[in-house]
Amino acid sequence: MTAYSSIKDVTPGVSDGKVAGIEFAAVNMTFADGTTALKSLDLTIEEGEFVVFVGPSGCGKSTALRILAGLEQATGGTVAIKGRDVTDLGPQQRDIAMVFQSYALYPHKSVYENLAYPLRIRGLDKGTIETAVAGVADLLGLTALLKRKPGALSGGQRQRVAMGRALVRNPEAFLMDEPLSNLDAALRVEMRGEIKRLHRRLGVTTVYVTHDQVEAMTMGDRVAVLRGGELQQFDAPQRLYEQPANMFVASFIGSPAINLAMAAIGAESSVMTLAGTEIGLPPSRRPEGHPAGPVMVGIRPEAFSYRRDLEHDVSLTITPDLIESLGAELLVHFALPAAPVPVALTSSAKSAVSPIALSGNAAEMSTRFIAKLDARCAYAVGKPATVWFSTDHLMLFEAATGRTILASAPMIKLSV
Amino acid sequence: MISATPAMPRRSPLRTRARILTATRAGAALIVSLLFFAPIYWMILTALKSGNEAFKATPSLIVWPDFENFALVFTQSNFGLALSTSLFVSVTSTVLCLVLGASIAYPLARVKMRGQKHIAFWILSLRIIPPIAVIIPLFLLLRSVGLTGSIWSLVIVYTYMNLPLTVWLLRGFFADLPTEIEEASFVDGAGRLRTFIGITLPLTAPGLIATALLCFIFAWNEFLFANILTGAATRTAPVGLTEYVTPVSVEWNKIMAAGTLVVLPVWIGALAAQRYLVRGLTLGAVK
Amino acid sequence: MPDSTATLTRGAVHRSGRGGWSWFARRYGAILPMAPGMLFLVVMSIYPTIYSLVISLFRWNLSDPTRMRFGGWHNFGLLLTDVTFWNAVGVTFKFVLIAVSLELILGLAIALLFFQRFPGDRFLRALLILPMVVAPVVVGLLSRYMLNVQFGIITFLTEALGLGRIDFFGEPNLALGTLIVIDIWQWTPFMFLIMLAALQGVPEDIIEAAKVDGARPVRIFFDHILHLIRYPVAVAVALRLIDAFRVYDIIFMTTRGGPIDVTQTLSWQIYDAGFKSLDIGYAAAYSWLMLIIVVATVTLVLRLLLNEQASR
Ligand SMILES: Nc1ncnc2c1ncn2[C@@H]1O[C@H](COP(=O)(O)OP(=O)(O)OP(=O)(O)O)[C@@H](O)[C@H]1O
Ligand SMILES: [Mg+2]
């Protein structure tokens, strides 16, 4: 991209000290109709970081992004970009660029004019605009399309133009709201990589909104998981996967979703009863301080193996009732033998589990399991078999609140 | 059309029946359309007839066009002036309507405000009042500011008359434009006014033009107010027309020529705006 | 008028201090452009409303403008006991109801003809919609010319058919009917356009589902389509009612209320009272009664249309 920084404001008050790229401080958002979309959001994004907001539909991701862009006024709290309080500034004064889900290209302007628009508004001279647009067009492979109107472009090309319009003026931050959701699967994967490469090259702070956890995991330096307007966890993808803050994050991250079941911790917390089977817990895997009683236990489908080895030493006898092949792996579905769990506990667990993990009723949910096994296992539907896992891979959650009691052991290389 | 499978008979009974049905419908539609068009044809025909052909015992359905009547309309009377007065009044009130209408409709469509619905419906409700019910007070109001007999009184009345329609239509067109396009412009650094002029207006132009045409048509055709509020020098075309009809001489060729002149520009407009006519005539309730 | 003092309800305004131009601009800037137009509408509608309400309570004839006496309900009482008023009510209702219902039926029928495309349909549609943009004054003149008892084309036709010469505007039994036919000629295209748009808006899958269920076209029309287009029908009927009540120009150009009183509509009589008798107190009271009649009729018809259809 052409190096041109003439339009950049010299931000006052930026010293050599550490200045956050973007900062949300106690941001609240309640719409005029009473809908609360954000509850006291606190979030600090480092300069140059690629941060993904992820969460189920309606969790407030877009609202947070729009507040950051200045398109929506928060009802409380402050927003700062590069140390400058922008809470009361309009989108025009924030020097941010945004890629919309619908791309929001100007349909009456050519690709060239779309790309040039932000620069024209800044009153740059013709030559500068031409070089800048040419540079961006070259970067995104749009050079041949500059004369066309957006209506004459494919979805992927439109997406590139939208990206280009954001890139062309070297802003303080890029904001993207589900920019890839209108593309087909293959193009989505391709653009995913391209956006990451661009980010690495330009190093501009980027906030990326998606509801797709795969996008979140693959793209984010850090990922903010939102639910019902509340920040659940803000962490690197691998930590979200291994050390989820609660059952919601555990079940939202990972595909297929984590298996969850009711279990009971024994009096000494050295033993756990899962589906009528007693599993001994080694000292490092004991929920210290947790009283004996019910917990939710989670095991990722990837944590299972079809054979015993050092990392898979606890066995579970199952009867597959559905096997889906992914080629190299099989998704083996099975039901845990019904555990004698008190009804009252089941219902409290139900409320703690995310709607996403809830397929069917709570009792069924807690006993449906999926194991992702090497295709060599050659298991068959209806034929009893044994799967292996390790207590290192178990996660324990408080049955009532879903809060994590014990995450999976860190630094474990999970077998695939 | 060629049937895809050669084994099939070229014309299945079903298809033949469908053809006959379509032909019947087309035939009926043709007759109905001609029936509705006939009086208009008759008017234009009469306008193009020369001299006494209009009063012939056996009316002729086709004539060699003679534009003499049109020429006479302009040379023998003040109808040319009436037409230009109509043009001025209609264009001016249309422009005023669009400017005032857009500046009401845009915030109404985009800005959240208290009582939004009430304002919109109050504006719409102005459309239900019969003009005859307000004409006396309006007449007295305009007289008190010395505007009766002036061309501006009509401009004001027509602007008032068409403003509710304009607001409703424009509100719909603005609301149909995705907000994201304007938001993109804000983020790109453009202010509200610049976004409105550079993005919103061009993108809603077809709707604006259709609205303008409707305003123009209604103002152009209006008679009640024009008859009461204008003086001899400020007659509009519809008022001018009525003066052709005197008990002494009724020159139908010329009346029809003048009538054709009144109707022609409006037809062109209506045909150009056909796509939006329904929406316009129903105040946006039917698209 | 409720809530004309609209305010932005977006949040965060309270944070930045009140007072000063920038506060005002932020809070009201977005709706400020509405001010001139709204002011214009308010002045132009409120003034005549109040004025007409006031003078309707006075006995005031402009032929003697200095003699203005408060009459209370006098004008209204006079009206309600006046046979010419009730005659005008009857004439107007006959005109409005017959014309609008026939226009609806005809418009719908023609829309059904045009619903499926056929070669040349666009051209025919263009011909068909022309009458509604013809200035009513021109319609009046044209109908006078065509119906002229001496040389009108219609007279030529009636004579050819052996019906003799008919004075359509002069015959008391025919005058109102003639006006209705003229209105139908001019406004059926309007109904047609809206009905066509309404029919085209009916989701195709519903019709297809009904076809698959084995329903015949007539059944489909009465069972489904009529129900699905009831809102456009209601809008069209309401708008036509409002406009039909206004009928004035055509009468001015043709019958002028006659023969005798068979085409004396409400609009015509208000005009008569106000601008011929100059009895503007009376005319104002008349206007109010007319407004009430229009609003009541439109409301009633809308309710009938929407409820009856919905309860099917
Ligand atoms: N203008 C608005 N007025 C009222 N409520 C709104 C408005 N915009 C959003 N909301 C509500 O705020 C909540 C959060 O919406 P938001 O658009 O931020 O969700 P999201 O996380 O982006 O969801 P999605 O993945 O579906 O885009 C939702 O409950 C939504 O209904
Ligand atoms: Mg969203």
pLDDT for the residue C12? 38
pLDDT for the residue C27? 65
Let me know: does C241 contact C235? Beta carbons within 8 Å.
no
Cα C129 from Cα B272, distance rounded (Å): 12
CATH of domain B72-281: 1.10.3720.10
B82-100: average pLDDT? 94
Task: Summarize pLDDT for C34-54 with one digit per residue, the tens.
Answer: 889 999 999 888 888 888 888
Task: Summarize pLDDT for A354-400 with one digit per residue, the tens.
Answer: 433 333 344 444 478 999 999 888 888 988 888 888 888 888 898 88
pLDDT for the residue A13? 38
Tell me which of A63, A181, A208 to substitute to probe ligand 1's pocket, judged by most ligand atoms within 8 Å of the beta carbon: A63
- Taking the CA of residue A99 and the nearest CA in chain B, the distance in Å comes to 8
Model confidence at C23, pLDDT cuts 50, 70, 90, reads low
Q: Taking CA B244 as the corner, what is the angle to CA B242 and CA B250, rounded to the nearest 5 degrees?
A: 125
Model confidence at A324, pLDDT cuts 50, 70, 90, reads very high
Q: How far is the CA of A372 from the centre of ligand 1 (A)?
A: 35
Nearest partner of A207 among A23, A2, A6, judged by Cα: A23
Cα A306 from Cα A325, distance rounded (Å): 15
**Is the C-alpha dihedral spanning C235, C240, C241, C242 positive or negative?**
positive
Q: Which of A25-29, B86-90, C183-187, C252-256 has the lowest mean pLDDT?
A: C252-256
Question: CB distance B133–C287 less than 8 Å?
Answer: yes
The answer to whether B189 contacts chain A (CB < 8 Å) is yes
Identify the residue whose C-alpha is closest to ligand 1 atom 14. Answer: A60
Residue owning tokens 């407004």: C291
Higher pLDDT, A43 or C162: A43
Model confidence at B11, pLDDT cuts 50, 70, 90, reads low
Name A23's bridge partners.
Answer: A44, A80
pLDDT for the residue B89? 94
DSSP letters spanning C29-49: TTTTTHHHHHHHHHHHHHHHH
C181-193: average pLDDT? 92
Nearest partner of C242 among A37, A130, B133, judged by Cα: B133
- Can you tell me whether residue A370 is helix, strand or coil? strand
pLDDT for the residue C17? 45
Question: CB distance A122–B190 less than 8 Å?
Answer: no
**Cis omega (within 30 of 0) for bond into B202:** no
Cα B69 from Cα B61, distance rounded (Å): 18
pLDDT for the residue A347? 41
A147-160: average pLDDT? 91
> In CATH, what class is C76-310?
mainly alpha
Model confidence at B54, pLDDT cuts 50, 70, 90, reads low
Mean pLDDT of chain B: 84
Annotate B177-234 with three-state secondary structure: CCHHHHHHHHHCCCCHHHHHHHHHHHHHHHHHHHHHHHHHHHHHHCCHHHHHHECHHH
Model confidence at C180, pLDDT cuts 50, 70, 90, reads very high
Q: How far is the CA of A101 from the centre of ligand 1 (A)?
A: 14
Question: CB distance C16–A30 less than 8 Å?
Answer: no
Cα C21 from Cα C32, distance rounded (Å): 13
**Cis omega (within 30 of 0) for bond into C259:** yes
- Can you tell me whether residue C125 is helix, strand or coil? helix
Chains touching A, CB cut-off 8 Å, 3+ pairs: B, C
Task: Summarize pLDDT for A266-301 with one digit per residue, the tens.
Answer: 777 777 778 777 777 877 777 777 777 888 889 999
Residues of each domain in chain C carrying CATH 1.10.3720.10: 76-310
Cα C138 from Cα B225, distance rounded (Å): 16
Q: Taking CA C200 as the corner, what is the angle to CA C199 and CA C202, rounded to the nearest 5 degrees?
A: 65
pLDDT for the residue C11? 37
Find chain A residues with C-beta within 8 A of B199's C-beta.
106
Task: Summarize pLDDT for C199-241 with one digit per residue, the tens.
Answer: 888 888 888 888 887 778 888 888 788 888 888 888 889 889 9
Q: How far is the CA of B251 from the centre of ligand 2 (A)?
A: 70
Burial class (CB in 10 A: 0-12, 13-18, 19+), A52: buried
Task: Summarize pLDDT for B200-257 with one digit per residue, the tens.
Answer: 999 998 888 888 988 998 999 999 889 888 887 888 999 988 877 765 556 788 888 8
Judged against a pLDDT cut of 50, whether residue A110 lies above it is answered with yes
pLDDT for the residue A342? 41
Q: Among residues of chain C, what percentage have pLDDT more than 90?
A: 21
Identify the residue whose C-alpha is closest to ligand 1 atom 18. Answer: A60
A58-85: average pLDDT? 91
The answer to whether C249 contacts chain B (CB < 8 Å) is yes
C141-151: average pLDDT? 87
Q: Among residues of chain A, what percentage have pLDDT more than 90?
A: 41
**Is the C-alpha dihedral spanning C263, C265, C267, C271 positive or negative?**
positive
Q: How far is the CA of A366 from the centre of ligand 2 (A)?
A: 30
The answer to whether C157 contacts chain B (CB < 8 Å) is no
Ligand 2 ion: residues within 5 Å (CB)? A 62
Find chain C residues with C-beta within 8 A of B27's C-beta.
none
Cα B156 from Cα A90, distance rounded (Å): 38
pLDDT for the residue A33? 85
Helix (H) or strand (E) holding A405: strand A404-406
pLDDT for the residue C149? 84
Q: Are strands A259-265 and A96-99 parallel, antiparallel or unpaired?
A: unpaired
Burial class (CB in 10 A: 0-12, 13-18, 19+), B147: middle
Task: Summarize pLDDT for A195-215 with one digit per residue, the tens.
Answer: 999 899 889 999 999 999 899
Model confidence at B31, pLDDT cuts 50, 70, 90, reads very high
Cα A30 from Cα A32, distance rounded (Å): 7
Higher pLDDT, A278 or C143: C143
**ipTM, 2 dp:** 0.85
pLDDT for the residue B193? 87
Higher pLDDT, A91 or B59: A91
Judged against a pLDDT cut of 80, whether residue B4 lies above it is answered with no
Cα A44 from Cα A37, distance rounded (Å): 19
Question: CB distance A106–B194 less than 8 Å?
Answer: no
C58-79: average pLDDT? 78
Residue owning tokens 């943009």: C133
pLDDT for the residue A390? 86
A168-187: average pLDDT? 89
The answer to whether C154 contacts chain B (CB < 8 Å) is no
Residues touching ligand 1 (Cβ under 6 Å) are A 31, 33, 35, 37, 55, 57-63, 211
- Can you tell me whether residue A279 is helix, strand or coil? strand
Q: How far is the CA of A110 from the centre of ligand 1 (A)?
A: 32
Let me know: does B147 contact B156? Beta carbons within 8 Å.
yes
Residue in C27, C130, C154, C286 to test binding to B, most B beta-carbons within 10 Å: C130
Q: Measured between alpha carbons, how far is residue C151 from residues A405, B250, B260, C167, C255 in Å?
A: 102, 12, 20, 12, 18
pLDDT for the residue A145? 92
Find chain B residues with C-beta within 8 A of C7's C-beta.
113-114
Identify the residue whose C-alpha is closest to ligand 1 atom 7. Answer: A31
Q: Which residue of C has its CA nearest to B61?
A: C153
pLDDT for the residue B46? 86
Q: Which of A105-109, A268-272, C140-144 has the lowest mean pLDDT?
A: A268-272
B25-31: average pLDDT? 92
Nearest partner of C185 among C128, C238, C233, judged by Cα: C128
Indicate the domain borders of chain B: 10-47, 72-281
Identify the residue whose C-alpha is closest to ligand 1 atom 28. Answer: A58
Model confidence at C272, pLDDT cuts 50, 70, 90, reads confident
Question: CB distance A104–B178 less than 8 Å?
Answer: yes
Judged against a pLDDT cut of 60, whether residue C126 lies above it is answered with yes
- Can you tell me whether residue A331 is helix, strand or coil? strand
Q: Which of B97-106, B265-274, C185-194, C286-295 has the lowest mean pLDDT?
A: B265-274
Judged against a pLDDT cut of 50, whether residue A176 lies above it is answered with yes
Let me know: does A219 contact A209? Beta carbons within 8 Å.
no
pLDDT for the residue C8? 36
Q: How far is the CA of A35 from the centre of ligand 1 (A)?
A: 9
Model confidence at B185, pLDDT cuts 50, 70, 90, reads very high
Cα A19 from Cα B149, distance rounded (Å): 71
A328-333: average pLDDT? 90
Identify the residue whose C-alpha is closest to ligand 1 atom 20. Answer: A58
Size of interface B-C (CB pairs under 8 A): 274
- Taking the CA of residue A83 and the nearest CA in chain C, the distance in Å comes to 19
pLDDT for the residue B249? 59
Find chain B residues with C-beta within 8 A of A69's C-beta.
183, 187
Q: What is the DSSP letter of C254?
A: T
Mean pLDDT of chain A: 83
Closest ligand 1 atom, residue A211 Cα:
25
- Taking the CA of residue B182 and the nearest CA in chain A, the distance in Å comes to 8
Closest Cβ–Cβ partner in C44, C128, C295 for B160: C44
pLDDT for the residue A269? 74
DSSP letters spanning A111-171: HHHHHHHHHHHTT--HHHHHHHHHHHHHHHT-GGGTTS-GGGS-HHHHHHHHHHHHHTT--
B159-174: average pLDDT? 90
Cα B125 from Cα C242, distance rounded (Å): 11
Find chain A residues with C-beta within 8 A of B187's C-beta.
69-71, 91-92, 94, 96-98, 175
Residue in A88, A89, A92, A93 to test binding to C, most C beta-carbons within 10 Å: A88
Q: Which residue of B has its CA nearest to A117?
A: B188
Size of interface A-C (CB pairs under 8 A): 19
A54 phi and psi angles, rounded to 5 deg = -135, 155
- Taking the CA of residue A206 and the nearest CA in chain B, the distance in Å comes to 15
Question: CB distance B282–C126 less than 8 Å?
Answer: no
Model confidence at A331, pLDDT cuts 50, 70, 90, reads very high
